[in-house]
């Protein structure tokens, strides 16, 4: 009889549930993007938490046919470091605890960031235990030194944004241009017809990037009524250059595995970014490798958490550890 591993994630904008089997095959990848009113730039935590509580029962019911469960993993917080906390993750945590207790299976407390990393590694071809990670999303822009460990990843923050996140820049500009939220896919589609006639400032100092200046500059340009596609192209060119400079700074730190760089998070699904950044890095240093996860696994999802549950509990079972009903908490760094 097959056995299954469940992952749950309730991030700021997506309710996610995933199931894998013991071979690591992805059997379910369910997501419900939270509703944001037209013209709004985001959700309050209380609004997002309420929507998660409405979404989760239906997602769990769809997964109920997969028995028996062997383990559950959930995102307990944004990052695997002390003090990392957001209320939205309580929804997934509480459902995961109830499911694991009812099924009598072990429970792995992980993080949203570790789920992103594990999902991006699926099929990326990155085999090293140590590497640089660049988390690009609407809620995170961080350059990390990453080390694989039992039950997840150890991460060391090297740098990142000093103000807005990469996804926030895209969303704020996109919404101002009349695009739906989240604006990333719509801005990318618009940029396909754009010309490189506009240029935004790039604000990277060492390991720190700022996106507030480029955002303000883009909004001033928009007031001058440029061709929308040209402005969209300029935003993506600014993003590519900013990320490229961060990669350069990260490689220069000399961290273990630091010549291999994994990009993950919703912004990392951008096709233009993938193509242009890969080309820029290859021209700069052919010994540095840039990896991306599958496009469909870059945005918020619970697949990485289900895979972490599968990785950890199959390994523990092989070693004769982790009994049914035992909770495993790897939230401490």
pLDDT tens, position by position, 109-147 = 999 999 999 999 998 999 999 999 999 999 999 999 999
Shared domain for 50 and 110, answered yes or no, is: yes
Shared domain for 86 and 204, answered yes or no, is: no
Q: Give, in order, the Cα–Cα distances in Å from 233 to each of 106, 122, 176.
A: 48, 30, 15
Q: Which pair of tokens denotes residue 329?
A: 């908490």
So what's the pLDDT on residue 2? Answer: 74
Shared domain for 87 and 149, answered yes or no, is: no
Cα 89-33-13 angle, rounded to 5 deg: 40
Shared domain for 84 and 220, answered yes or no, is: no
Shared domain for 109 and 130, answered yes or no, is: no
User: In whole angstroms, what separates CA 74 from the centre of its chain?
Assistant: 14
Shared domain for 261 and 142, answered yes or no, is: yes
So what's the pLDDT on residue 158? Answer: 98
Cα 183-282-285 angle, rounded to 5 deg: 125
Number of helices (H), then strands (E), in the chain: 9, 13
Q: Give, in order, the Cα–Cα distances in Å from 247 to each of 82, 131, 160, 290.
A: 26, 12, 11, 9
Structural domain span for residue 73? 4-119+298-329
| Contact predicate 308/110, CB 8 Å | yes
Shared domain for 256 and 150, answered yes or no, is: yes
| Residues sharing a CB contact under 8 Å with residue 225, sequence separation 6 or more, in sequence order | none
Please state whether beta strands 260-264 and 289-292 pair in parallel, antiparallel, or not at all (unpaired): parallel
Rounded-to-integer distance, Cα 282 and Cα 43, Å:
39
Rounded-to-integer distance, Cα 243 and Cα 170, Å:
14
So what's the pLDDT on residue 327? Answer: 59
Shared domain for 185 and 262, answered yes or no, is: yes
Residue linked to tokens 């792995």: 108
Shared domain for 286 and 173, answered yes or no, is: yes
> How many domains does the chain fold into?
2
Max CA distance (Å), the chain: 67
Rounded-to-integer distance, Cα 323 and Cα 317, Å:
8
So what's the pLDDT on residue 324? Answer: 45
Shared domain for 282 and 140, answered yes or no, is: yes
Shared domain for 281 and 319, answered yes or no, is: no
Shared domain for 210 and 268, answered yes or no, is: yes
Count how many residues are written for the chain. Answer: 333
233 backbone dihedrals φ, ψ, rounded to 5° = -65, -40
Low-confidence ranges of the chain (pLDDT < 70): 1, 317-318, 320-333
CATH of the domain at 107: 3.30.420.40
Buried b (16+ CB within 10 A) or exposed e, 276-302: bbeebbeeeeeebbbbbbeeebbbbbb
How large is the angle between the packed helices 184-191 and 228-252, nearest 10 degrees? Answer: 110
């Amino acid at each position: 009889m097959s056995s299954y591993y469940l992952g749950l994630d309730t991030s700021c904008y997506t309710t996610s549930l995933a199931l894998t089997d013991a071979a690591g095959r992805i059997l379910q990848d369910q997501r419900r993007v939270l509703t944001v009113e037209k013209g709004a730039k985001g959700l309050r935590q209380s609004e997002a938490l309420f929507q998660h509580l409405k979404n989760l029962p239906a997602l769990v019911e769809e997964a109920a046919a997969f028995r028996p469960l062997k383990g559950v993993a959930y995102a307990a917080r944004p990052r695997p470091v002390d003090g990392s906390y957001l209320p939205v993750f309580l929804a997934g945590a509480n459902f995961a605890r109830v499911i694991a207790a009812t099924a009598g299976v072990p429970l792995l407390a992980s993080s949203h960031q570790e789920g992103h990393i594990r999902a991006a590694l699926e099929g990326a071809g990155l085999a090293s235990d140590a590497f640089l990670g660049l988390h690009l999303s609407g809620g995170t822009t961080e350059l990390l030194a990453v080390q694989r460990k039992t039950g997840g990843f150890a991460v060391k923050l090297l740098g990142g944004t000093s103000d807005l996140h990469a996804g926030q820049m895209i969303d704020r500009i996109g919404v101002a241009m009349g695009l739906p939220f989240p604006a990333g896919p719509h801005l990318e589609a618009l940029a396909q017809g754009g010309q490189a006639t506009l240029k935004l400032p790039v604000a990277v100092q060492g390991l720190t990037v700022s996106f507030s200046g480029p955002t303000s500059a883009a909004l001033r340009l928009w007031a001058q009524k440029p061709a929308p596609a040209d402005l969209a192209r300029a935003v993506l060119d600014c993003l590519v250059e900013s990320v490229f400079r961060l990669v350069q700074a990260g490689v220069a730190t000399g961290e273990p595995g630091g010549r291999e760089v994994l990009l993950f998070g919703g912004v990392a699904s951008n096709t233009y970014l993938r193509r242009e950044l890969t080309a820029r890095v290859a021209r700069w240093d052919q010994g540095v490798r840039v990896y991306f996860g599958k496009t469909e696994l870059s945005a918020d999802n619970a697949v990485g958490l289900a895979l972490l549950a599968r990785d950890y509990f199959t390994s523990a079972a092989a070693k004769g550890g982790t009994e049914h009903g035992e909770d495993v908490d790897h939230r401490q760094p």
